[in-house]
Amino acid sequence: MEEIESKLNSNNPIVIAQIFSKIVQNIKEKHKIITKESPELKFLKDKCLIPDPLISEVAGRGIINLVEDGVLQIETILTDFITTIPLTKCYSSLTNILGSLLYLEVKNKLSINKEYKNSYNLWSPQHPFIMMLIENSDTWKCIFNEIRIQYTNENGEYVTELLKPVYLYALCNPVQKDVLYLFKQRMFTFLLHNDNLDSTIFYNILCWMQLETRHNLEANSDFLNDTLFYIISTNQSSLNLEVFILWQVSVLYHLALNKLDIRPCIHCLNTVFKETNDLVTINCLLLMFSKTIEICSSVYLLDLLNLCKVLLSYDGKEIYILQAVKASLLQWLASPSILTTDAVKVANIIFTYIENYKSSSLINESLENFSVQFQTIINANNSKLHFALLKALPKMVVLRENMPKVMATLQALSNGSVDLYTFSLSLMYDAWNVDHKCYSYLENMLIQNKFTAKNWETYVTKTYIIRELCLKKPELYGKDMVAHLSKVLNDCNNDDGALPCALAIEGITILCRAEIIDVITTWAKLSPKYKTDTRIPVIKSLCSLIHEIPYLLYTESYTELRAEVVKALWEYVNVGDPQITEAALNSITSFSLEEICSQLLVNYLDEDVIEERKKSVVGTPLTVPGKTWIKFLKENGSSKEAVNFLIKMISIEVSGYLKYVYQEYSKPLPPLDWCFLQELFHDQRTKHYCIDIASHQAILSGTARRLVENYIIAVNENPQENDIISVFRNLNHLANSIQPVILKPFFEKAIGFAINKYNNEYKDTLLVKILDYLRDVLQNKDIQETNKTTIFEVLNDKISITATKSQLFDILLPCVITLPKKYIEEMTTLKQDVSEDWLEKVTKVRCTIALHTNIKPLTWLNEIIEVSSTIERNRFTLKEFIKVFRKHINNTSECALWLLELICQIQAKVADRCAEKEVLYFFDVFILTVVEFSGYSTFLTDQSGDCDRRTKDLFPQAFQALMKVNDWSVCTTQALEWLYYMNSEETVPNEYRNIFGMTLQSMRHDDEFIKKSRWMKYLSCQVFQ
């Protein structure tokens, strides 16, 4: 052996070749006799691993020779050399050996099966070349050389399949070392220009490439540039140009987002656009450009806008897309600067182009013909049209440049007749509502007094405007308006002036409320003037003014004033006009009870009360007995105004009580003999009050209970609407005292009676009232369980015979869902052989419950999903699911956990090898859930609820968008593993394996995708093109 070692160290290639040839020959001869590994073979293997390439490569060639002659098994020797990767000291030799062995393996499989499918991937079993790159990154040169050599072999078309994991590792590595950048670049160029280019694998590689992460953006942008230039220069038909343009424009956006240089990308796209005659994806491209313009650096803005201008020259643009581009330009146009002068010029050109763009599918929205159309309208002899134009005129002051012209027009209009003055005044007020800068013009028009004759319409218009100015801006215009209001009050003394006078007093009331003017001084001036006024609008306005006095704190010390106004109000009550009475009584309620009673008119008081008042000491609070108010009602003929006054006074008094004073007394009275109530039953006016009393006492009193029981039995025999309502109204008391043996027949009869009434008369009032009372009982925790069970049994019977899609079912449903959970579960239990009608019924009930709860709402769907998966598809079920998903789209904390449970459930189904139909239904529900919760259902043209092709197409992006939401992101890690498992599981149909594979591709930029080298496993999944 020493002699052999000496010759091997001679560095003589001829000697070395002869030595290894003899060793190989000896191994072949011994192979016929000895089956176990010989020392010569071990020696040959060891020499393959030494640092000297001259020796190790020749030794490796000897190993390959032995494999080719059948002395060594390919699988065994390949496994042996893969295990030596960490031990080798000469990677060039090992690379040659592994490359040759892998090629021989391909040839061997082709000779047997006539086809080849790669058994290696990035994860397990890991491709030998990837193992070498992980062990030592510097081996990329040896591996790249071996890859180029592989394509020169006889079966070169299968080499791409063999090396696919290596391409994915080299080109799609999200955490690649800088030393491998040159390898990545050469590998992409070699793959692109390869004569045996497989477009399917090429697209697959690009789908896994990192196009959003900053570390990989510039390199991948360069690769896409090379691809685009290659396609337009070679007319490569196997690669779709527009797909790569979309990719590159997307990369352009992320380059701008990460503040990287976008000029090479823009240059490439500019060249490609000039060579392209038509773009089907023009609208998608423009939409991405609109997003890029908003975030682009001003340094690159000019180049980007010039490229956008080129893109606008293509046909097929939609108006709404152009509006998005237009909106993105606004921020640059609104903030021009020296550094963006040229860019803003191009932006203005684009903006103008979009403004004037004519769409073949939409009406031209530009204003280029406005002048001609406006002239035509002006010359039209149509008074209604002119009126409409004048009404629209004030709106034009929204643009300040139009204000002088609009004001001049209105002033000129006011110089006409008194009617035109009135109309122009209202238009001037409309202009002030649009822009308060018009106030000076409005005030000048208000003080005009060019018409000698009084025109009450003018006074009403003027006073209304003054009142509105006081109401909207009292602090600005209040003091200015006092003089105008005084003039109106002085001018409008007759009956025709009632309305403007009333409006003026309302304006004064507003100013008093805002404390612009003093109510005490104001009342001192108004009181003598209007003390004897009989005009109803004026008196009502005066009552409103008085109503404000108690709410002004500074009036508390003016007791004489308060007494005076209360007395005036009582005098107004005595006038006898309903309108004045109502206004006066409403104002009286704002004062205290003592103030009201002290000024009460004598005709409402008894003689003893009058005598008592005469004897009372001055300053003592004056009150009146309750019978006084009865006399008050009699004096006013029990009018509606008087009744409402007393109701309001009682309400004010009760609202001031402590809580325990007016709450319902929960305990019944001590046991009494309530048989005397039977005597009052025959009077229709008292019958229902008797039932109320007896129902409240039934829990402790036997006589009251028997009274109610007899009444219920009688109603059951002869049901009437009012009688039924009187029982259900007291059901909260009766449900704890009356036994089910009496209540159940009554429930059945009453609900049946209400349903028949609904079916015959189409009136649901009675039924809705009954169900509302039942719902209150079911939600009451203090009600005994036996009667709740009775209600459940009756409702269950009614629900079971009611058609799911009927309106009656919808009326019953709100009551059904308030049943205790155990009853609902019993009612909606599903069996495997369930009928379609019962499934729909259960679905409707459970989905309605899910709609009305925020705690684990989606768990109500579990049993429906389980049973529906084993029977014929039912679109109704999916429609109801969609309603639930959309209702809880913001209830992410609960729904995210349910989605995780659904994922685990599906995985268990697949692992247990359940029926394909069952698994596919779960897949479709999962896909539908993700699309709905992500909001991507907006893009569905068919909202039928069927998990159609479009829904499945949306799933990958919908899933990726959903996982970006905070509360949903908790699912990311488990979901990635689940997607990989489903894609790898051969029992899953290829359609769904493909969907889940594409979903993994869409998740490639997520942080969880990259962690702990998971990406290598995920990149190994199959995506069938």
Contact 110, 90 (CB under 8 A): no
Residue 27 falls inside a structural domain: no
Region 532-543 average pLDDT: 92
Residue 566 falls inside a structural domain: yes
Domain boundary among the residues 367, 385, 417 is at 367
Selection from 252, 254, 260 nearest residue 308 by Cα: 252
Query: Which whole-number Å values give the CA distances from 860 to 314, 789, 821, 872, 890, in the listed order?
Result: 52, 21, 11, 21, 18
DSSP 13: H
Residue 459 falls inside a structural domain: yes
Contact 642, 633 (CB under 8 A): yes
Distance CA 543, CA 602 (A): 21
To which residue do tokens 């090429």 refer?
202
Query: What is the sign, positive or negative, of the torsion defined by CA atoms of 360, 365, 366, 369?
Result: positive
DSSP 120-177: -BSSTTBPHHHHHHHH-GGGHHHHHHHHHHHTTSTTGGGHHHHHHHHHHHHHH-TT--
Residues 677, 777 within the same domain: yes
- Its domain, for residue 896, covers 874-1025
Residues 578, 711 within the same domain: no
The residue that leads in pLDDT, 369 or 502, is 502
* pLDDT value for 401: 84
Distance CA 95, CA 644 (A): 102
Distance CA 975, CA 1018 (A): 12
Question: Over 60: is that where the pLDDT of 339 sits?
Answer: yes
* pLDDT value for 367: 47
Distance CA 747, CA 726 (A): 13
Distance CA 951, CA 938 (A): 11
Distance CA 572, CA 412 (A): 47
Residues 911, 999 within the same domain: yes
Residues 688, 798 within the same domain: yes
* Tokens encoding 359: 């769409």
pLDDT band at 392 (very low <50, low <70, confident <90, very high): confident
* Tokens encoding 309: 């201008």
The residue that leads in pLDDT, 358 or 592, is 592
Residue 556 falls inside a structural domain: yes
Question: Over 60: is that where the pLDDT of 348 sits?
Answer: yes
* Tokens encoding 412: 């000129």
Half-sphere exposure of 961 (CA within 13 A, CB side): 13
Contact 343, 293 (CB under 8 A): no
Residue 120 φ/ψ, nearest 5 degrees: -100, 155
The tally of domains found in the chain comes to 6
Region 186-213 average pLDDT: 87
Residues 352, 381 within the same domain: no
Selection from 811, 815, 894 nearest residue 853 by Cα: 894
Domain boundary among the residues 338, 367, 396 is at 367
Residues 998, 901 within the same domain: yes
To which residue do tokens 């218009």 refer?
461
Residues 657, 678 within the same domain: no
Residue 67 falls inside a structural domain: no
Contact 957, 1002 (CB under 8 A): yes
Residues 361, 433 within the same domain: no
* pLDDT value for 3: 74
* Tokens encoding 920: 């596919």
Cβ within 8 Å of residue 403, ≥6 positions away: 397, 435, 437, 438
Residues 299, 273 within the same domain: yes
pLDDT band at 494 (very low <50, low <70, confident <90, very high): confident
Residue 181 falls inside a structural domain: no
Distance CA 829, CA 823 (A): 10
* pLDDT value for 993: 94
- The pTM of this model reads 0.72
Instruction: Encode pLDDT of 228-269 as tens digits.
Output: 999 998 887 778 899 999 999 999 999 999 999 999 999 999
Distance CA 289, CA 277 (A): 19
Choose from 91-95, 591-595, 694-698 the range with maximum mean pLDDT.
Answer: 91-95
Residue 623 falls inside a structural domain: yes
Question: Over 70: is that where the pLDDT of 427 sits?
Answer: yes
Query: Which whole-number Å values give the CA distances from 815 to 211, 690, 739, 769, 776, in the listed order?
Result: 55, 28, 21, 11, 9
Distance CA 233, CA 241 (A): 12
SS3 content of the chain, % helix, strand, coil (to 5): 75, 0, 25
Question: Mapping DSSP to helix (H, G, I), strand (E, B) and coil, where does residue 359 land?
Answer: coil
Question: Over 50: is that where the pLDDT of 689 sits?
Answer: yes
Burial class (CB in 10 A: 0-12, 13-18, 19+), 415: exposed
Region 35-63 average pLDDT: 88
Contact 735, 783 (CB under 8 A): yes
Estimate the crossing angle of helix 519-530 against helix 536-548, to 10 degrees.
150
Beta-bridge partner residues of 121: 126
Contact 639, 578 (CB under 8 A): yes
DSSP 657: S
Average pLDDT along the chain? 87
Domain boundary among the residues 486, 517, 548 is at 517
Estimate the crossing angle of helix 972-984 against helix 949-963, to 10 degrees.
140
Burial class (CB in 10 A: 0-12, 13-18, 19+), 10: exposed
Question: Over 50: is that where the pLDDT of 352 sits?
Answer: yes
Region 810-815 average pLDDT: 93
Residue 490 φ/ψ, nearest 5 degrees: -75, -35
* Tokens encoding 949: 């092709």
Residue 344 falls inside a structural domain: yes
Residues 936, 887 within the same domain: yes
pLDDT band at 372 (very low <50, low <70, confident <90, very high): low
Q: What is the dihedral of CA 888, 893, 897, 898, to 10 degrees?
A: -10
Residues 294, 386 within the same domain: no
Task: Say which amino acid occupies 887.
Answer: K
Instruction: Encode pLDDT of 711-740 as tens digits.
Output: 999 999 999 999 999 999 999 989 988 999
Range scoring the smallest mean pLDDT among 287-301, 421-435, 539-553, 941-955: 941-955
* pLDDT value for 759: 87
* pLDDT value for 864: 93
DSSP 450-512: ---S--HHHHHHHHHHHHHHHHH-HHHHHHHHHHHHHHHHHH--SGGGHHHHHHHHHHHHHHH
Question: Over 90: is that where the pLDDT of 102 sits?
Answer: yes
Region 470-487 average pLDDT: 90
* pLDDT value for 365: 45
Residues 324, 358 within the same domain: yes
Contact 864, 843 (CB under 8 A): yes
